Amino acid sequence: MSLYSNPTLARLGEHFQRLSSQHGCVVLDADSFDEFINEPGESLILFSEDPQRVPETWDIAVILPELVKGLPKKPRVGLLAPLDAHAVSSRYGIRLWPALLALRGGAYLGVIEGLKDWGVYAGHLPQLLAAPESRPPTIGIPVQTVGASASCH
């Protein structure tokens, strides 16, 4: 019996389990996410969406093992189901699904949003995993001090 009532999400969960058993990917949830990302070294996390809404989720979930095989240094790979992905996505400003988030010891390296051509992944993923740590581009909300002038001068 699947934890998902939606058959498409149940199939995605089954695929994640195969990725775990065959390729060593770690199936994460919102509760286990922080522990996983804070381990030393680079990690790559798939933020998935319901494949009925975003069919490209199937594509990235299928090619992910091949993408990782082609990397010079293998990161730990985590998989987030849609509900869990949405629960933590705002921490990284993710707005387009599916997404691959790169971290080092919990520090932000970058993200690739949406499905890309193979060449984009092959060229960009190694650079992303070697990038310096930076501040994630969280979804910004303009802040204004009450009584402050609209101008900075």
| Tens digit of each residue's pLDDT (9 = 90 or more) over 18-36 | 999 999 999 999 999 999 9
User: Which sequence spans correspond to the domains of the chain?
Assistant: 7-130
Return all residues near 77 (Cβ < 8 A) that are at least 6 apart. 19, 23, 24, 25, 26, 43, 44, 45, 46, 64, 68
Residue ranges for the chain with pLDDT beneath 70? 1-4, 139-153
Q: How far apart are CA 24 and CA 31, in angstroms?
A: 19
In this prediction, residue 152 carries a pLDDT of 46
In this prediction, residue 141 carries a pLDDT of 55
CA 127-115-55 angle, to 5 degrees, is 155
Residue 75: which of 33, 119, 23, 30 has the closest Cα? 23
Identify the three-state secondary structure at position 23. Answer: helix
Which CATH topology does 7-130 take? Glutaredoxin (3.40.30)
In this prediction, residue 2 carries a pLDDT of 44
In this prediction, residue 117 carries a pLDDT of 94
pTM value is 0.87
